[in-house]
Amino acid sequence: MEPNSLAIFHSNDIYPTSADGTMPFKQATDILWLSGVDQEDSVLVISPDAKRNEDKELLFLTETNDLIAVWEGEKLTKKEAFEVSGIQTVYWLSEFDTIMKSLMSQTENVYLLTQEHLRRNTPVQTREMRLNAELKKIYPNHNYKRSAPFLNKLRAIKTALEIEVMKIAAEITAAGFNRVLKFLKPDCWEHEIEAEFIHEFVKRRSRGFAYSPIIGSGSNACVLHYLENNKQCISGDLILIDVGAEYANYACDVTRCFPVNGKFTDRQREVYESVLRVEKASIELLKPGAVLSEYHKQVGDLMTKELINLNLLSQEEVDNQNPSWPAYKKYFMHGTSHYLGLDVHDYGLWDGSPMEAGMVFTCEPGIYIPEEGIGIRIEDDILITSSGYINLTKEIPKEVSEIEAAMKTG
């Protein structure tokens, strides 16, 4: 931050549904990452050049009372907030406007978080957006700056504790997949498989799915964000399962494809092993110094060779392809990797900066052939280390022999 600056971070709202219903609360990951506070109506203010030491880090929280305690459970006390965050100065939210008048009178620059994620689409106004607009209205003559570039860099590299938590999320996810391998059989339903996952996740103290589960059998596997999960699984079909557990707010993100009847057909196996070869080679490319944009081009070249061998593309089509939309995109239309952490599509740098140790990426190539009813994606979570990588989700079967053996014994 520039001298004489402060930064403000807000919690998420509790979002309404209908009547008096609400969605479960999901904390904004920036204030959570910075402070550890997982509570609605919270504000974090960082003011390193404040005149008083006690004003350099401030937390504002809702003051609990007997009514809140009865209906919702007690909120954090000031002492508990300090124990969670390490921040000594904690105010009640009712004091926010008064304290901010004093701080803003000493400040020239104000860093605000605007949602700059490349994939973000926010048709509703968030608490962050609403309160940022109010602040600018009250204090129009301050210099307003962006926090996102700092957080993209900082959050991209995981601490040792974050990595340990992500390993637990991966272990819980593996347990769910192992349960499903024993359960999957012809004529079961996609939603029944979803139920097997949530049972195993919650039993292991996960809060559930890190994202809406994708469980698509047959042609549903060719719909990238298929969410209905309501079709019966037919013998002879493949099922694509894109599921990850959340643990302590951190996400796991895994995809596997299994034959519903426990045995791949020759064609299914041929396509599956093509995807698996691309995934294995792509994982080897994830290492310190690699650049995401170049990495995706390399993966595209790997996939192109496989698609030619599968007789899905011709060399002529490749030679005459549009460079902005290469020929392989007909059958592999999504990216191979994204950052992973508190968010499934986590913060990180997409500006040509090299990969560094401590970053975690997914690796998820796929081939989708709607005319054949085959959709295959294989995805693992990869931690970049100083000497290469660690596959956090390697315990989840993905070799054809492993899958068929597990389903046979199940």
339: alpha, beta or left, given left = phi > 0 and alpha = psi -120 to 50?
beta
Question: Which residue in 127, 269, 296, 345 is the catalytic one?
Answer: 345
The answer to whether 192 is a known catalytic residue is no
Question: Which residue in 40, 364, 380, 381 is the catalytic one?
Answer: 364
The answer to whether 20 is a known catalytic residue is yes
Cα–Cα distance for residue pair 245/223, rounded to 1 Å: 21
User: Which domains can be identified in the chain, with CATH numbers?
Assistant: 5-155 (3.40.350.10), 157-409 (3.90.230.10)
The answer to whether 364 is a known catalytic residue is yes
The answer to whether 368 is a known catalytic residue is yes
The answer to whether 379 is a known catalytic residue is yes
CA-CA-CA-CA torsion sign (304, 336, 382, 207): negative
Question: Which residue in 250, 346, 377, 389 is the catalytic one?
Answer: 377
Question: Which residue in 334, 351, 372, 399 is the catalytic one?
Answer: 334
The answer to whether 196 is a known catalytic residue is no
Question: Which residue in 155, 179, 256, 338 is the catalytic one?
Answer: 338
pLDDT of residue 217: 98
Q: pTM of whole model > 0.85?
A: yes
Question: Which residue in 306, 343, 379, 381 is the catalytic one?
Answer: 379
DSSP assignment, residue 325?
B
Q: Which residues pair with 377 in a beta bridge?
A: 366
Sort strands 245-247 and 250-251 into parallel, antiparallel or unpaired: antiparallel
Question: Which residue in 253, 279, 306, 380 is the catalytic one?
Answer: 253
- Chain Cα centroid distance, residue 89: 32
Alpha-helical runs (H) found in 16-159: 29-35, 66-71, 78-85, 96-105, 127-138, 148-156
Question: Which residue in 226, 247, 368, 389 is the catalytic one?
Answer: 368
pLDDT of residue 68: 77
Question: Which residue in 242, 279, 343, 380 is the catalytic one?
Answer: 242
* Beta carbons within 10 angstroms of residue 217's beta carbon: 27
Question: Which residue in 199, 205, 225, 267 is the catalytic one?
Answer: 225
Sort strands 57-61 and 89-92 into parallel, antiparallel or unpaired: parallel
Cα–Cα distance for residue pair 151/315, rounded to 1 Å: 43
pLDDT of residue 351: 87
Which residue's entry shows tokens 């014994």? 409
The answer to whether 225 is a known catalytic residue is yes
Task: Going residue by residue through the chain, which has 410 residues, state the pLDDT in tens, using 9 for 90 and above.
Answer: 999 999 999 999 988 889 988 888 899 999 999 999 999 999 999 999 999 999 999 999 998 877 777 777 788 999 999 999 999 999 999 999 999 999 999 999 999 998 776 666 777 888 899 999 999 999 999 999 999 999 999 999 999 999 999 999 999 999 999 999 999 999 999 999 999 999 999 999 999 999 999 999 999 999 999 999 999 999 999 999 999 999 999 999 999 999 999 999 999 999 999 999 999 999 999 999 999 999 999 999 999 999 999 999 999 999 999 999 999 999 999 999 999 999 999 999 988 899 999 999 999 999 999 999 999 999 999 999 998 999 999 999 999 999 999 999 76
> Which pair of structure tokens corresponds to residue 186?
């012809």
Which residue's entry shows tokens 């089509």? 317
